[in-house]
Amino acid sequence: MTNDRKIDGDSKNKQLETFRVNDHEHAMTTNQGLKVSEDEHSLKAGTRGPTLMEDFHFREKMTHFDHERIPERVVHARGYAAHGEFELYESMKKYTKAGFLQEPGSKTPVFTRFSTVAGSKGSAEAVRDVRGFAVKFYTEEGNYDLVGNNMPVFFIQDAIKFPDLVHAVKPEPHNEMPQAASAHDTFWDFVANNQESAHMVMWQMSDRAIPRSLRMMEGFGVHTYRFINDQGEAHFVKFHWKPKLGVHSLVWDEAQKINGKDPDFHRRDLWESIENGDFVEFELGVQLLEEKDEFAFDFDILDPTKIWPEEDIPVKIIGKMTLNRNVDNVFAETEQVAFHPGSVVPGIDFSNDPLLQGRLFSYTDTQLIRLGGPNFHELPINRPVCPFHNNQRDGYGRQTINVGQVSYHKNSLANNKPNTSTEEDGGFVHYQEKVEGRKIQARSDSFKDHFSQARLFWNSMSSAEKQHIINAFSFEVGKVKDMNVRQQVITMFANVDLEMVTEIAQNVGVKAPSDVEQSSVTKSSPALSQENKAKLPNTRKIAVLLADDFDDAALEPFLKASLDAGMSIDIVSETFGTLTGKNGATVDVDETLLTIHSVLYDALYVVGGQAKQQKKFEMDVVDFVNEAYMHFKPIASAPAAKHLMDQSNVKAGSGILMDFTVSRDGKQWVEAVAEHRFWDRKLYE
């Protein structure tokens, strides 16, 4: 294999094809290519004798098995990924010389990995946590990694505190509990004693921390970067990923149940969507700021605990990423992919954000231990699509066979090849920012305001979102055993909103402070509320509950209307098999009331029918419906299902379509599914 080949627009797919092998089409061999005659019995001294060291096939097979696992990521261990492409809408030539951002319509292969942060590789996915959102662009100038999260800010301002944050949120070392959760003493003790975390904690206690789908959450670069154009002019830039399906979340009770019913909920959703041809789309947006405006705001633009409000600095949409192919092998691709915020191309550079500066060291250091040495860039999923040449040699896992006598710079034996490139020839040149100052371990005073944007976030929430934040705080802080830590947290967040902490304090059994002055910020940012995001019915998952002798006149037009609107339908019944309607129509059962659960669907349509165990069927359907109703989901029911709905807790109101018929209620049904939740539902009245 050579890295000198030229690769066309489908470059990464073609490159990966070089490494893709279907072993099922070939005879079994050892890793050295020797055909194997026996793979069930080790070589022994007699049929009942000891296994012989001479059995090289046994030793190779077992050694490889013993070494199958590599160290999981310390953070972002639980992840899932997909391939796709990025298409540029509008040239960014005015702002950056990055090649993949020049020509409208140009396409760049990408690989995107989503992840939770706190949990181990085997943890559940629908947990309250930040989600990683990392994209590798395989450009003709080299790999560019946009490594971000689904929240635009972070807990800390300086990377030196990252080990402390992670130690605090991970399971407590004396008992290794709890897994994949922040609802415990050490995390909240860290929060109370590191008040720069206030803004991020508001995001983490919001609905953003429990996304409905990886396809339905925003992504952010978090840090301030620079665009540099071919004239050497710089703009500060922040990156945004906007999901075409809108931003939607789970209900906390629903999320906890999903973790028991399907701990693979998010990865299954991503996998199935792509397999079904419902490709995942995110638009890329940038916020751009001229250097002269660096100090024009009441926050420091380099502070990673601050956003740039979209109403003040609009997001310019410049392209779209489409994820259209699932991985072939999770380990080889998802687990071995190595992201690094320092993987940039000419035209993209860094700012002095102290959290970003530390990440530029940490990511390479992490890959060295995880992937066994300095050659992780040669793994197929990490390998650039463009040629690469340098004087780096040897090390664990080296794949390139470097030829020739010389491996140093400068040299005359090889005419000083490989040689460096000028900026005009595409060589990367760091932005020449003027820097002056004394060496000091301190932070700028402009980083000291920890509560104004936390208050901005609170002001921007709908009433339902505010209540969810209060409930989340009450759950999380209520799990803290140390009452002093509980009190410290309540006192800290009184700086954000007194009314909020008064209710939380009552719920967790501590006193609401009366001598803390809350932030005076009155401004809000509508862009921060999920209520203001796109609402579409596309790919929503619908459960249709029915049994034999169902009303096929009610079912058939419903299925057509729902499928035409882009929804996904599962027929759910008592047992698997084929059901027959009153007029002879037949449907196959996709799931049973035993194998599936209400929390795994976005909406329900109740049709009814005659089951083998009718009483049990009706009880199970009623439970299914009550769960969906409690989680504020849309529910429709056919006229023949009235007796079932009468047994349920469902009351007439928004998102409830009783005696549903497509001719009368079809548009309402589609709109209800698009709305996703109906927060005005009074559950306890």
CB atoms within 10 A of CB 334: 19
Amino acid (1-letter code) at residue 84 = G
* 634: preceding bond cis by omega (within 30 degrees): no
**DSSP code for 334:** I
Counting every residue, how long is the chain?
Answer: 685
- The token duo for 136 is 């590798």
In whole angstroms, give the CA distance from residue 566 to residue 555: 17
Cα–Cα distances in Å, from 616 out to 432, 450, 621? 73, 55, 9
Residue bearing tokens 């109370």: 192
What token pair was written down for 568?
Answer: 């996904």
Helix (H, G, I), strand (E, B) or coil at 131: strand
3-state DSSP helix/strand/coil % of the chain, to nearest 5: 35, 15, 50
To 10 degrees, the CA torsion angle through 522, 525, 530, 532? 110
User: Among 354, 273, 355, 287, which Cα is nearest to 315's?
Assistant: 287
Amino acid at 535: K
14 CB-near residues (< 8 Å, 6+ apart)? 7, 8
State the Cα–Cα distance between residues 137 and 86, nearest whole angstrom: 8
d(CA 529, CA 512): 27
Judge whether 430 and 409 are in contact, CB under 8 Å: no
Query: Are residues 130 and 153 in contact, defined by beta-carbon separation less than 8 angstroms?
Result: no
505 closest CA partner among 478, 529, 525, 530: 478
149 among known catalytic residues: yes
CA distance 650 to 606: 12
User: Both tokens of residue 313?
Assistant: 């600095």
**CA 564 – CA 431 distance, rounded (Å):** 52
Catalytic residue among 143, 149, 375, 538: 149
SS3 164: helix
The 3-class secondary structure across 3-21, one letter per residue, is CCCCCCCCHHHHHHHCCCC
Asked if 243 and 279 touch (Cβ cutoff 8 Å), the reply is: no
Could you please report the per-residue DSSP string of 244-307?
TT---B--HHHHHHHHHH-TTHHHHHHHHHHHTT--EEEEEEEEEEEGGGTT-SSS-TT-TT--
Question: Does the annotation count 76 as an active-site position?
Answer: yes
> How many C-alpha atoms does 227 have within 13 Å on its Cβ side?
22
| Rounded (5°) CA angle 656-662-666 | 65
Cβ atoms of 203 and 247 closer than 8 Å: no
Please identify which residue in the block is written with the tokens 């690469």: 388
Q: What are phi and psi of 274, to 5 degrees?
A: -70, -40
Displacement of CA 325 from its chain's centroid (Å): 17
| Residues classed as catalytic | 76, 149
